[in-house]
Amino acid sequence: MQLEQSFHIAAPTDLVWKAFHDIELLVDCLPGASINTAATASEEGAIPLLFKVKLGPIAAGFAGQGRLNLDEASNSGAIVGTAVDARSNSRVKGEAHFSVIAAPDGGTNVEVKVDHTITGSLAQFSREGIVRALAEQLTKQFAENLQARLPQPATAGDVHGSGVAGAASSAASRPAQKDTSSIDLWTLIKALLAGLFSSRRN
């Protein structure tokens, strides 16, 4: 299945592009995702990752390997990975291609194209409507988290947090605690159904 998402960051393009060099920062900004410290990289350059998903009483923890590839010339790149949930015997494989583009307002637009497959017992929840609702929510939260982690404009009267210093890669500037709570798909499904019924009534 292929998905396309986009979001805007109120920060210069060079700063946002530097942030996309920091895989730990990117993982920190994605709800439900974390670097799996209990695992080791399968090969040089690979990052052991963990992604937690919850659907009512069903909880899945996809453990796998990811890799960040960057193209400096075009300010674009891709995160490629595979992961397995041993409990449900489900497997996910995907690629997320992104482009960092200067916006007319001086900020940055980020365009994301995701191509993924899910096999196993959890594949029944990979219907297009559910997956799109999940992708939209993840993109929204990721963008908000990334925005909060970047330095705010010096002219702003209310600076929201210290952000990431200079190159957006200083570990000391990161929050002391990482929210590793799982993504609740059931909440997303209910929101999706509510939206469908609301549109039908209108």
From first to last of its 202 residues, the chain has per-residue pLDDT tens of 788 999 999 999 999 999 999 999 999 998 888 998 888 877 777 899 998 877 666 778 889 999 999 999 999 999 999 999 888 888 989 899 999 999 999 999 999 999 888 888 877 766 666 677 777 888 899 999 999 999 876 544 443 333 443 444 443 344 434 444 555 555 555 555 555 455 455 5
Tell me if the pTM is above 0.75: no
DSSP SS3 for 190: helix
Tokens found for residue 146: 């990334």
Please identify which residue in the block is written with the tokens 């010096």: 154
Work out the number of other CB atoms within 10 angstroms of the CB of residue 49: 23
Report which of 16, 184, 194, 37 is spatially closest to residue 109, judged by C-alpha positions. Answer: 16
Half-sphere exposure of 158 (CA within 13 A, CB side): 0
Cα–Cα distance list, 71 to 12, 68, 100, 109 (Å): 18, 10, 11, 17
